Structures are given as structure tokens and as C-alpha cells.
Amino acid sequence: MEALLAAGLPAQICAVISNDPAAKGLDTAAGHGVATAVVNHRDYAQRADFDAALAKAIDAQNPDLVVLAGFMRVLTEGFVRRYRGRMINIHPSLLPSFPGLHTHRQALAAGVRVHGCTVHFVTPQLDHGPIIIQAAVPVLPDDDETTLARRVLAEEHRIYPQALRWLCEDRVTLTADGRANISGAHPATNSLLSPALDA
């Protein structure tokens, strides 16, 4: 979230809403002059009641986009459908590989040579929405969860603002077959090999 606030996006960030009153991001947002609100999930016995209160707080801001950043609650299908095509998230893996939690641990356990992150539209199926942009990093022989997460996070801070710029410029459309299409974007032509081929 802090990276998005600092990115100079061509958009007004109307509010930062958290489910945790102690979230550091609330102070960060306030320091940037952004309105904040808290909808504490602990105040609601039912997930649907929390989602209804969260939706009310969001709708009070009348946003064009709902951008999840470090929001670790699973949202109900009704909530997700309410913001269909307007809610995006970033996930620390190359989806559809390693959805859910502990993605870096999963990647290391699987022995993959390449890992990364994905910006995608949120759909009722967890971590499976249409992909807007991805970034890949090599998995190094001496990596642990901390070092791999640090390298992936640097890419998250690079691609999330880019995805938001495309959305603000109306360059992202959802196709009939459920893919995200970015007009004017150039496909990457280079490749990442890990480990690299012998010279």
C-alpha cells in the first residue's frame, strides 16, 4: 500500500480501509493525507455481516476501483461479485501456481527454478482471477523464505503500480473468455532461464 501511495498514480486514492485497527497502513495513509476507516472483523460473528459492513464503507467512497493490498481476509462470493471487474489484488506467486498462504515456502518445497508475483482481478475462486501482469524472479540455490520473499516483493512494488496505471488509463478489458487484455502493451520478448545455460 505504501508503494502505491508513493507511485504518483494518475488517480485519487480516496480512502484506505482496514479490518485491523492496529494496521500500520492506517498511519501511513493518514500521513499522505488519505482518509482512513476501520471495519474490524472481530466485531462480526458472521463473515457475511463483516463483508456487508465493509461494502458499506467502500461504497461510501464511491470508488472506481477496489485495490487490495495486504488484505488477508477471504471475501464472500457475494462481496466479490459486487465489485466484479473493479477489484484487483496482488499475489506473491506466478498464478495459478501456489495459491493461498506461504507461497515462498511452497515454491521452495516444490523445487521450482522460477517464482514471482501476479496482479489479477478478484473472482470468487481464491487467487484465480484474470491475470493483468506478472513478474518472475529466479530461485537461487541458497534461498530461504526470507530472501526469496524480499526479491519477489521488489517486483510487487514494480508491477502493482503499473497495473493500476493501465486501469486508470482504461487500457485493461476483460475478454469473453475470462482473460485480461491490455491495449498497447508490448509482450516481453526476452526470457529468464534459471539456472542459466552454460556459456
Active site residues: 91
Q: How far apart are CA 192 and CA 190, in angstroms?
A: 7
Farthest CA pair distance, the chain:
61
Q: How far apart are CA 28 and CA 109, in angstroms?
A: 35
Residue 199, exposed/middle/buried by CB under 10 A (0-12, 13-18, 19+)?
Answer: exposed
CB of 134 within 8 A of CB of 94? yes
Q: How far apart are CA 125 and CA 77, in angstroms?
A: 8
Best CA proximity match to 94, nearest among 72, 70, 113, 79? 113
Best CA proximity match to 51, nearest among 76, 68, 81? 76
Q: Concatenated DSSP letters for 64-116? A: S-EE-SS--PPPPHHHHHHTTTTEEEEESSSTTSS-SS-HHHHHHHHT-SEEE
Q: How many CA atoms lie within 13 A of 12 on its CB side?
A: 7
